[in-house]
Structure 1
Amino acid sequence: MIISAVIALFGWRQIRRKNREVHRKLMMTSSLFGAGFFISYAVATLAIGDTSFGGPQSLSVPYQIFLQIHVMLATIAAVMGVVTIVLALRSRFSTHRRIGPWTVIFWLVSAATGLVVYLMLFVIFPPGPTIKNLLHVLVSSKS
């Protein structure tokens, strides 16, 4: 997701310099990296489960609030990203220009909060237990 956000930042810079073709290529590349990240995250979550917060109990509620903010931002950024791409592909550039900067801002903030979530889950604190998900329940019930 960070790679996608950095590429989007470069793409935003290119359109500010009126370099439309480089902007288009960078934004499509950013979108592919973002989609790739989402697919890999979804597959890992289905296959492995969710890692719970392993930090101190006193930070559990603030972490959960921060995580929910990240999820909302990421969802908004993803929906805005699809809308922004569709507008560009349909050559509706006046609307694309109005929402594009907001899309990038939401994506950058989402990437930054996602990095903080990752650091809190796996680097700053030891990971908590992995919580099994529906796929695990379905596979286990057939055994």
Structure 2
Amino acid sequence: MGLAGLWGLFNEIVMIASATLVAIGWYFIRHKQVEVHRKFMLSGATLGAVFFVSYLLSTFLVGDTFYGGPAKYNASYQIFLLIHILLATAAAVMGVITLRYALSERFNKHRKIAPWTATFWFIAAITGLAVFLLLFVIFPPGPTTKSLIQIIIGH
């Protein structure tokens, strides 16, 4: 597994850990343990932010890896990837909104959006894992685009 795959593995570990912390936080709010809930959710949100920064860095510094599996599955993979990207983007935007509601103590609004946000994040984490497995484990990786560094130095 090359640098793109290793960085992708790191990103997946962080994303799954983030989703796991959110799930645990959800459990605690269901059991009326607000402070424990808050700690898990803030930890999950922090790891979500770490994932986002790491993903952007990997895209700019290493590049994006293309699907290398059988051509007959390429269209299905691209549709699946698009769904993942849309869900992850929606979850990230909703996460910021949900966090802002909680931190500003607008709990009525927070309670309405939070279950949707968590659900979208769970699905984004699972589909992200599937994308990683399809790109680097199940099939050999396709080519990786040039990184920003390669573009700047002309290689």
| Mapping of residues 50-129 of structure 1, within 5 Å | 50-129=64-143
Tell me how far apart the structure 2 counterparts of residues 5 and 136 of structure 1 sit (CA, whole Å): 33
Quote how far apart the aligned CAs of 1:38 are.
1.2
Structure 2: gaps of 5 or more residues: 1-14
**Which residue, out of 113, 136, 139, partners 2:150?**
136
Quote how far apart the aligned CAs of 1:96 are.
0.2
Aligned counterpart, 1:7? 21
Amino acid of the residue matched to residue 138 of structure 1?
Answer: I
Q: TM-score, normalised by structure 2?
A: 0.88
List 4+ stretches of structure 1 deviating above 4 A. Answer: none
Aligned-residue Cα RMSD (Å) equals 1.1
Give CA-to-partner distance per residue, 1:75-99, whole Å, 9 cap, x none.
0000000000000111000000010
Aligned length: 141
Tell me how far apart the structure 2 counterparts of residues 117 and 14 of structure 1 sit (CA, whole Å): 30
Q: TM-score, normalised by structure 1?
A: 0.95
* Mapped pair 1:42 → 2:50: no
Amino acid of the residue matched to residue 20 of structure 1?
Answer: V
